[in-house]
Amino acid sequence: MSDEMKDVMLDLETWDNRPGGVILSIGAVWFGGGRLGQSFYTRIDPQSSVAAGLSMGVDTVQWWMNQPEAARLEVLGPGVPLDVALGAFAVFLGVNGRKDDCNRDVRVWGNGADFDNAMLAEAFRVMRHPIPWAFWNSRCYRTAIEGAPHDDAAGTVAGVPHRGTHHNALDDAETQALRLMAWQAVPAASPADRDKGEFGCMCAKLQACVQRHGLGVEGERLDDIVCREIDRLKATGGRVA
């Protein structure tokens, strides 16, 4: 457990996309204050998961067969039994010595409200291990990062490129933690800034309409029209679009 850090980013590689599915690897990292802390990574012997009753999804297995060789070779390397992996992850979260085997302070982030956290929690239930984090401290990375800028050409989210190999659980967890911190560090727009944005958006739309219809409207007069429209919408509770 990293001192002063309260957040852990979790990533799983699996052979199914629903709770109760086979988990191939667990990657996690403590993060906070713009930096990464202690990390965790383990591969899991899939036979131990199948023996425990976890499921394999045909579509997910086929999807894995089409992934880059580096990712496939890594995830299918030698792994530990499922119960050993779960016990090690609980220790990583800092449950040692706690009466209920649960760290009630840590926030665990997963990529999707119904995926990483839910998948791992179900594996703990199946193996009759206490879930080592409090259910109210589950967090969704996908929702938190939703508004961040994506640059597909550069491969960045919130200006942060991917670290290491895609679909390596630890590399993905570290990447997500860095992107989340970068996005959370962006100041929220003030009401004045939002008004400026609305004003500029409406000016651009109105100017395009004027040009499309071949009308001649001077810039200053156009600004006056937009200002009056914004005031009217605000007075009536309308929304500038």
Asked if 123 and 201 sit in the same domain, the reply is no
Greater model confidence, 123 or 218: 123
Provide the β-strand partners of residue 110.
Answer: 140
Q: pLDDT class for 189, splitting at 50, 70, 90?
A: low
Asked if 176 and 144 sit in the same domain, the reply is yes
* Parent domain of 56: 7-184
Among 54-58, 86-90, 194-198, 236-240, the range scoring the smallest mean pLDDT is 194-198
What CATH number is attached to the domain comprising 60? 3.30.420.10
Q: pLDDT class for 201, splitting at 50, 70, 90?
A: low
pLDDT value of residue 96: 66
Asked if 176 and 200 sit in the same domain, the reply is no
User: Residue 133: what residue type?
Assistant: W
Asked if 108 and 63 sit in the same domain, the reply is yes
What is the 3-class SS of 98-114, one letter each residue?
Answer: CCCCCECCCEEEECCCC
Of the candidates 145, 132, 125, the one whose C-alpha atom is nearest the C-alpha of residue 105 is 132
pLDDT value of residue 9: 98
Asked if 103 and 208 sit in the same domain, the reply is no
In this prediction the pTM is 0.76
Asked if 80 and 95 sit in the same domain, the reply is yes
Asked if 87 and 66 sit in the same domain, the reply is yes
Round to whole Å and give the CA distance between 77 and 66: 17
Rounded (5°) CA angle 37-42-47: 160
Residue 132's CB is within 10 A of a number of other CB atoms, namely 25
Report the domain count for the chain.
2
Query: Percentage of the chain surpassing pLDDT 90?
Result: 57
Asked if 67 and 34 sit in the same domain, the reply is yes
Asked if 59 and 138 sit in the same domain, the reply is yes
Asked if 93 and 200 sit in the same domain, the reply is no
pLDDT, tens digit, 9 for 90 and up, residues 31-71: 999 999 999 999 999 999 999 999 998 899 888 888 888 88
pLDDT score of 24 more than 90 = yes
pLDDT score of 100 more than 80 = no
Is 241 inside any structural domain?
no
Average pLDDT, the chain: 85
Is 1 inside any structural domain?
no
